[in-house]
Amino acid sequence: MDTEEKAAGRWDAIVVGSGIGGLVCAGYLVAAGMRVLVLEQHDVAGGNSHVFRRRRAYQFDVGVHYLGDCGPDGLLPRVLSGLGLGDRVRFHPMDPDGFDRIVLPSVTVDVPAGWDRYADRLRAALPAEAEGITRYIGICAAVAQACRQSAFAAGPGAKVPAVMLRWSRRTLAQLFDHCGLSARARTVLAAQSGNYGSAPASTLVVAHTMMLDDYLRGAYYPEGGGQVLAASFVELLESHGGTLLTRTRVDRILIEGGTAAGVRLTDGTVHRAPIVVSNADYCRTVLELCGGRENLPEPVVSRAETATMRLPLAVCYVALDRELPLPSANIWYWPGEDVDAAYAKVESGSLDELPFAFLSFASLKDPVPGAACPPGHTNFQIMTACPPGYAPWGLTDGPAHGARYRREPAYVGAKDRLTEQMLDLAEAAIGPFRANMVHVETSTPLTQERYTLSTGGTAYGLQTWGRVGQRPDIGSGVDGLYLTGQSILHGGGIVGCATGGAQCASTILGRPVLAEGPAGNPELLPDREPGWDPLRTSRGLRRREARGLALLDRVVAG
């Protein structure tokens, strides 16, 4: 063992992966006095909350296009406040009268905050469906209330409300059938399904409702971009005695005598701890990091081997040298009016017709001057769902296993065609803009896999695992090994993963941390100097001043 390994010594807990779930869990553990190590294979912490920069002028969010339920009583502010970070992240509200605009060929619906107003807006747009919509809203609102109560009360032995149990294994398509809704109404109601990446027939009512309820409680954008979230959790971790190591990939979670014992890195370094939390991709955790059947029960391995993932996404990042005269709302543009048929084409492996285009305008949502782009410019993203697997890209394997793909002709051709299709849909939604493009690039599912090591390149984790409605729980079945992230029982989106991270910490500590008072000590947090850069902070203390940090030609946060 070399000097650095000896210096590392033993830890009380090790967290593998620095997505929001892992960072929140680590935060509560370090606030409880534990010595915590967080390991991240990418250059910066944050997972899908991270940003990247181009031309020293544009900052693009990878996954934080908007967040729900960030008002004073919201779940994410509650997590932040519980860790003493309530004043470190400011959330800018989007238009409560229409934060999402759903556009179909024959109908447009501006989605407002509040279940009652949402129901009224839907009935006005689809008057012939009023009875079915009322029934749908009643069920969804009840499930949403039960989910929220469960989240705040979560801890060892917490009870699951009856209404959530009743719908926990039923799909959104079954709910639509129950309410007698038409194909057009289904498309309107499922138009925001790109927020979780699955068709109504593959989406549990609970998953859809949790997403929708978050946004109906108010849609927000974190001032300065999504990296501010990750950087705040990193500040908490390091100021309370924890350590973040970026560009540090875990090769194996060590399980000795049926108990978690630490991790081994790809360079052979071993870090030991009696508690290991995996915030890594669930299937890779089971089949690769834990060694599969060598260390885990047969049913767990079998379920991971046969699991399916939610659909992966592609995102086109666009910068214009002019402003767009648009409201501060996202646009969900569906060129057809049959959501089930649209998803069926994608699931069959076809990239010929895109199901939808989600347009998110960071420069219209972020009030921090120059955070997203220079004054007078526009920064926006176009997102759509992609088929599963590598075949649509002309490949047989992905970057998680070392496959090189970025210059493969088949991949480049498929990516270029997809980019043009996404631009076409965006122009159909908001009018022509290509003449003003000064930057455009597309992230594919392989890009997602490269940076997050997610199975299938999905940002949204598991779709099926075992029987209908079943999801992996926080406990892994191995003493000392815990799970958090998109695929775990309470995960789903940034807010869901943050809540899931808190619930993972609750399980480890044996007390419901979300129901308690503040855990962190704000007096230990570092001062933010003028020009504070969340991207630099998210590299971790040991790599904070390393070369290669992308910069902007102006202050973006502070």
pLDDT in tens, 404-443: 999 999 999 999 999 999 999 999 999 999 999 999 999 9
CA–CA gap between residue 237 and residue 542 (Å, rounded) = 13
In the chain, the amino acid numbered 246 is T
What are the backbone angles phi and psi of residue 426, rounded to the nearest 5°?
-65, -40
Q: What is the pLDDT of residue 196?
A: 94
- pLDDT greater than 70 at residue 556: no
Q: What is the pLDDT of residue 5?
A: 45
Q: Take residue 9 and report the two structure tokens written for it.
A: 């010594």
Q: Which residues contact 35 (CB under 8 A, 6 or more apart)?
A: 11, 12, 13, 241, 242
CA–CA gap between residue 200 and residue 503 (Å, rounded) = 28
Between residues 1 and 27, which one has the greater pLDDT? 27
In the structure, what pLDDT confidence band is assigned to residue 72 with cuts at 50, 70 and 90? Answer: confident
Q: How many helices (H) and strands (E) in the chain?
A: 18, 22
Q: What is the pLDDT of residue 183?
A: 98
- pLDDT greater than 60 at residue 555: no
Average pLDDT value for residue range 489-508: 90
Point out the least confidently predicted range of 135-149, 210-224, 312-326, 378-392. Answer: 135-149
Residues 24-59 pLDDT 10s = 999 999 999 999 999 999 999 999 999 999 999 999
- pLDDT greater than 60 at residue 6: no
Q: What is the pLDDT of residue 1?
A: 40
Helix pair angle (115-125, 130-153), 10° resolution: 160
Q: What is the pLDDT of residue 468?
A: 75
Only one residue has tokens 């071993």, namely 270
Q: Give the CATH fold of the 3-52+62-91+223-307+463-543 domain.
A: FAD/NAD(P)-binding domain (3.50.50)
Residues 233-286 pLDDT 10s = 999 999 999 999 999 999 999 999 999 999 999 999 999 999 999 999 999 999
| Bridge-based pairing state of the strands 13-16 and 276-278 | parallel
Supply the DSSP symbol for 457.
G
Q: Which residues contact 353 (CB under 8 A, 6 or more apart)?
A: 335, 342, 345
Does the reported pTM lie above 0.85? yes
Residues 462-492 pLDDT 10s = 999 988 778 899 999 899 999 999 999 877 8
